[in-house]
Structure formats: C-alpha cells, structure tokens
Amino acid sequence: MEYYLIYKPYQVLSQFTSTDGKLCLKDILNVPKDVYPVGRLDYDSEGLLLLTNDTSINHQLLHPKFAHARTYWVQVDGLITNDAIETLSKGVTISVDGKTYATKKAVLKILPDDLVIPERNPPIRVRKSIPTSWVSIQLTEGKNRQVRKMFASVGFPVVRLIRSQIGQFSIAQMQPADCLSLSFEEVQNALFVN
C-alpha cells in the first residue's frame, strides 16, 4: 500500500483529472495511478491532503462514526469577536445540499497576527481599511464548504483557508506542493492511536 501527505496549494483541484483547464493533483504530483485523495479540499482552499490506495484508511477517515479531528487555520475579514468564537464553538446552523444542518461542537482559538505560513500564490488582496484575523478551528466532521459557511454565519467571511492538521499530521515544515511518502505505521500512529 502507498501513503502520501501533500500540502495542496491554492487553486489546485483535489483530484487527478482537470476540469475547465484548472490545475489538478497530476500537475504537481508523481504518484502511482491507483492512489487517490482521502476526502477533498476545495479549489480555493489549501493545506494537508492524504492520498492512498488503501481503501480501509479512506473508510476510517471519512465515515462520520470515527469523528477524526481536522484543524484549519482561517483568515477572516475583520477582527473576530469572542462572541463569534463562542457561538462557533457551540455549533451553528448552516445549509448543506439545500437543507439546514446543525454543526457539531468545535474547538476554536484566536491565532497570533504573526502566524508563520507560506505566502499564497496569487497573494491575498490587501485592503488597508479592513483588518483581518486568524483563527484555528478543529472539527470532527467535514461537510461541503463547512468552515466557510460557519464563519459566514457569524458575520466573518473567510479570506484564506488552510487545513493545518489531520490527526497528528501537521503542515509544520511544509510548503505548498510538498509531498511526503509515509509508511503504514506512520499513518496508523498519526491518525488512529490516541
């Protein structure tokens, strides 16, 4: 079995086939043809993505009953408030596939302004009159565009979204498009051992 951890760059599809001429994983990776991403990250999001041909890992990470933690660093428009953090931590109501959905509890904390992260290409549009904030949010579920919808529900639109951690795997020391080859034991220890 093969296991890879990639830092998916901004504006790259989480798949190996392109649509509408957009960059996809095959444009930045050279992995065996039977390897696929476990889950996905939106085209306009970046960060960690696990790839494997081990279907049991896919099931264990994506099935809701296993509730695996994923952490995101979220840059939002405006100075985030403690009220917004508290509301998000308790769960909010968002729309998923046209139906209302109550998100599970989340763990949030405000991150320092000097957070060290790679520059995004293309860079974020800077608006001098509107400050931004960085927040860490840990979820155990992954609905379509959930993080963006959650922050929008409390009045803080997402400017940049990075999946910074899956289980014990972290983007620390990684740059966009970096790919690490992992062993079965590394995957088990990082994702399934408490």
Catalytic positions are 42
Terminal Cα distance for the chain, rounded: 23
What tokens were used for 99? 């139906």
CA distance 19 to 90: 37
Rounded (to 5) percent helix, strand, coil in the chain = 20, 30, 50
Cα dihedral 126, 14, 168, 122 in deg (nearest 10): -20
State how beta strands 93-96 and 70-77 pair: unpaired
- Number of Cβ within a 10 Å radius of residue 105: 12
| One-letter amino acid of 189 | N
